[in-house]
Amino acid sequence: MSSSAAVDTEADLVCELDSARGIVDALCSVRWKRFQDALVELSEHGIVIIVEETGCLQAKVYLQRELFIKYDYGATGRPRFGVSLGLFIDCLNTFSVPGRSNVLELRYPGPDMQLMLRSVDSPDAGIYAEIRTIIPETISWDYNFEPAGSIPLSFTVKSAALKEAIDDLEWPGSSIQISLQPAPPSVIFRGEGHGDLQIDFNYYANTDLLIAFSCDRQVSHRYKYKFLRATTSNIPASVLKDNRGSKATIGRGGMLKIQHLVSVAKPSVPHPHIDSAGYQQPSRIAYIEFFVKPEVEESNADDD
């Protein structure tokens, strides 16, 4: 047996990407400070990258196995390892050269439990990198999202509009109240501090911005601004340019979930997951979810 075959047998995962650019965009979306550690979870269904902050903010990037041109999974269970998010992004950027075909192989674990990356399609030069992994800490809070009722409390708004609204809410200098009301159907963002600012998204009046709306009762919760801003501060320019929608859902206890979609298809290169009209199938999309805990008000601190 060759040495490469032996490594393949021992590896939990060997996979290949036809473009690192989309993965970089997805990971940058969940990077809200300079130094962050990420938990990477492997499974037969794909890769999940999880980052969190002080038990109040958590983000997950889902990379489904259909995103990869090769996905050989040989582990039992779901291996986990920790890695520096910034270092991972920097390494992936090294393999993303505009105008060149760059198939990237990821392999885990290496001989010293490292994450190994290498280019596999360049006839004249090769790029190789190893990232030291760490033993992951236990996720400090339960991010299991539960619906608030039988009818979802949710809305979908154009990503650029959501980012602009949250950016504008910085100057009042306070936490942000998000309210949903069924009549008239609308979403209200309100900040009070050095000044007052209220931003309304009215469903019937702004269907070009507020794409979808579901609410059967009035609900209102407050969220710390810095955590709310982290959900949109690094949305890729490609998402804003494509004018896509981001979905927000309020779950049990006021837990806020915000979802973005990031394309990982190689630009201007045909792929079996892209049809003749250029429509990208869902398998070429990375799913990003943010979970933000609400601020607990004194009046309902003891409520379930």
pLDDT averages per 10-residue partition of the chain, 304 residues: 44 92 92 92 96 91 94 94 95 79 89 93 76 82 83 95 94 91 95 90 85 95 96 88 88 96 69 40 80 76 42
- Tokens at 304, concatenated: 């379930």
Q: CA torsion angle for 30, 36, 42, 48 (degrees, to 10)?
A: -10
What was the pLDDT predicted at 239?
82
118 pairs with which residues across the strands?
A: 105, 128
Rounded distance between C-alpha atoms, residue 10 and residue 7, angstroms: 5
pLDDT at 2 (0 to 100): 32
Measured in degrees and rounded to the nearest 5, phi and psi for residue 215 equal -165, 130
Distance CA 162, CA 247 (A): 10
Q: Give the tokens for residue 86.
A: 């910034």
Q: Which residues have CB under 8 Å from 258's CB, separation 6+? A: 231, 232, 246, 247, 248, 289, 290, 292
Looking at residue 127, its pLDDT comes to 84
pLDDT of residue 1: 30
pLDDT at 57: 94
Q: Which two tokens stand for residue 239?
A: 């998402």
Reported as half-sphere exposure (CB side, CA atoms, 13 A), residue 174 has a value of 15
Amino acid letter for position 64: Q
For residue 3, the model assigns a pLDDT of 34
- How distant, in Å, are the alpha carbons of 206, 264, 265, 273 from that of 282? 27, 10, 11, 9
Q: Which residues pair with 158 in a beta bridge?
A: 245
Domains of the chain and CATH, by start = 3-131 (3.70.10.10), 153-300 (3.70.10.10)
What is the structure's pLDDT at 8?
53
Task: Report phi then psi at 134, rounded to 5.
Answer: -125, 160
pLDDT given at position 266: 66
At 213 the pLDDT is 95
